Structure 1
Amino acid sequence: MDKSVSKSSQPSGGNGFPTSSSNGRKLNKKLVYLCSIVMAVLFFLGIAAFVFLFLLHKNPKATNKNIASFRVDSIFVSRFKLSSSKITASWDIRLSVQNPSTASVSYQTFYTWIQYKQERLSNVTNIAPFQVRGNNWTAENGKLVAKSVRADEKVIEDMATEMANGSVNFNIGLYAGFWIGNEEAKRVWRAVEAHCSDLKIGFSSKDNMGKLIGEPIECILTKTW
């Protein structure tokens, strides 16, 4: 009688050690606990990501991306003349400016200039202040003049060679400074530089006038502040 009681009082695993089923239950509890922690962390990370994306969408001025877009719609060149070391010309350009933000943008400073390769050919021209409403485009006109601008002799030769073939590729550089927002206390000042390249100007063999060939050219942002 005493022996049977003694045997039944011992753990089923023998030698006083816990059974494998007991170890399994403890392991399952730990796994459930760890899974709960992981799910909680993922849940809060998901909420944080959602809030960040929501604020980014509601406040596009918080990022440097998609500040503005610029496009050259047309160029008309007149009184174009090359000498051994000077260039004389007048450029009438039409630029379109896009505001991808939901807030209005007020351009206070807008400078443009003409380049051939790396050589600047015109004086820097300031376009009068203008405003672009949210998610909208506006077109602005500018007149750039080169009054006997000096240029490297090699630049003159390259330009004359292109012109003899009927067209010359010019570039336009621009700098724009603007306010984003309507309320003075909350608006933000930003500035950009852009480069509009490969503007092919076709010239007539009968006169010194030319115009942009082909479709409007999109400009590329090179700097943002």
Structure 2
Amino acid sequence: MQGPSRPVTGYPVPNVNGCAPNPPPPSAATATAYPYQNPNPYPYTYYQQPLPSQSPRATFARRLLFVFAAVLIIFGSIIFITWLVLRPRLPDFSLQSLSLPNYNSSTERVTATWDARFLVSNPNKKLSVSYSDVYSSVYYHGYDLADSRMPPFEQGTRNVTTIETSFSLVDAYIKGDVVDAINKDRSNGQVKFDVFVSSWVGFRYGGWRGRRRVLRVSCGNVALNSSSGKMLGVAKGCDVY
């Protein structure tokens, strides 16, 4: 027989303070109500796609294009700076005199001589100018009467040069309507001619030489007195381009 102070097996021990006993600690099986689940039931491994390899030819062409563009920019800058410093200007031409000392014509045959004198001025302070392959022509209303070739020459800075040339026809064939028009103008007291000059010119500053270009000069409507054969009025300015 068990004593009265010994608890009965199978019953909870009464709390001496009169409070309910503490619940037993949860077991490992009941501690987690919802076990951990993988949010991605189908895991996969990420592989980074390799970058496409560049073609050696494409790389070389790109570098060559870059070098070419850089050289072009540098070269253009040098030319622009040179132009700003030197400021090249075209020469000035004026026709000082034009004369027709002798003139003979038949129906379609003409013998004549024109004498021309030009004044050429180089307005550049730093650049000298050279002229080569200098040709001149005399026209009547767009019809080429005679041509002449002049010797090459050079001009220093701020230089003024006088050049002369002659145009000759000796029993040369000229269209009948042109001869008739010239004779008609002469009978009216004056006849007008056009004089043209063309030349290759180059600018130079010390050891620097600019690109050569074609220079064209036009002296239009130059009136000659029929009786004296000399130019009427003073020197005539010419268009240079």
TM over 0.5: yes
Alignment partner of 1:140 out of 144, 157, 163 = 163
Residue 106 of structure 2 corresponds to residue 60 of structure 1: no
Contact 1:181 1:188 (8 Å CA) reproduced? no
Identity of aligned residues (%): 21
Residue 178 of structure 2 corresponds to residue 159 of structure 1: no
Q: Which has the higher helix share?
A: 1
* Structure 2: gaps spanning 5 or more residues: 1-78
Measured in 2, the distance between the counterparts of 1:75 and 1:57 equals 38
Superposed counterparts of 1:96-135, under 5 Å: 96-102=119-125, 103-122=127-146, 124-135=147-158
Contact 1:119 1:151 (8 Å CA) reproduced? no
* Structure 1: gaps spanning 5 or more residues: 1-51
Measured in 1, the distance between the counterparts of 2:141 and 2:166 equals 20
Measured in 1, the distance between the counterparts of 2:116 and 2:90 equals 22
Measured in 2, the distance between the counterparts of 1:190 and 1:183 equals 19
Aligned to 1:14: none
1:185 offset after TM fit, Å? 5.2
- 1:57-92 per-residue CA deviation (whole Å, 9 max, x = no partner) reads 52223xxxx412211101121221121112211111
Work out the number of aligned pairs and report it.
162
Contact 2:90 2:240 (8 Å CA) reproduced? no
- 1:99-124 per-residue CA deviation (whole Å, 9 max, x = no partner) reads 222311111221111110111111x2
Aligned to 2:198: 175
Amino acid at match of 2:87: P
Measured in 2, the distance between the counterparts of 1:178 and 1:95 equals 16
Amino acid at match of 2:179: I
Superposed counterparts of 1:1-225, under 5 Å: 56-61=83-88, 66-102=89-125, 103-122=127-146, 124-183=147-206, 186-204=209-227, 210-222=229-241
Call closer, same or farther: CA 1:69–1:79 in 2, change over 3 Å: same
